[in-house]
Structure 1
């Protein structure tokens, strides 16, 4: 892997305002990062994000339940 070059610039407004400005410039992989950030933002927020989190939680619950059921069956099986 090649290290990504990035620079961070911080500037404070000199007119007494309380707003600060921070800008980040990434290296050659900036297009990929913005693409992944866009997909992540779309899948992890809003109604779609909530739906995916709920479905993931339900799927995880059933996977653990079935794994526990099968494990318990073999552990407590009569000989």
Structure 2
């Protein structure tokens, strides 16, 4: 019978006085949260590239419109 895999690994160096403990989430025991899945889907791959391009275009237009309106009121003739 083999021991079950754990997300915690403990190792002690022979010549060192420090112990090393590392915790890693295993994909089989824990499910990713909804936010993690959504961000992974929207930020990677072809869909991630499309989202970033659309976000950049939207940001450009927001800054352009704000600059236009601000310039209009600053340089408005009296």
Question: Which category describes the TM-score, using the shorter chain as reference length?
Answer: 0.5 to 0.7
TM-score by length of 2: 0.63
Aligned residues: 62
Quote the offset at 1:22 in angstroms.
3.0
User: Which structure: greater helix fraction?
Assistant: 1
Quote the offset at 1:24 in angstroms.
4.2
Structure 1 residue ranges, 4+ long, deviating more than 3 angstroms after superposition = none
Alignment of 1:30-45 (within 5 A): 34-45=33-44
Structure 2 gaps, min length 5 = 1-6, 12-21
RMSD value, Cα: 3.0
User: Which structure: greater strand fraction?
Assistant: 1
Of the two, which has the highest radius of gyration?
2
Structure 1 gaps, min length 5 = 1-7, 13-20
Which structure is higher in RCO with an 8 Å CA cutoff and minimum separation 6?
A: 1
Match in the other structure for 2:64:
65
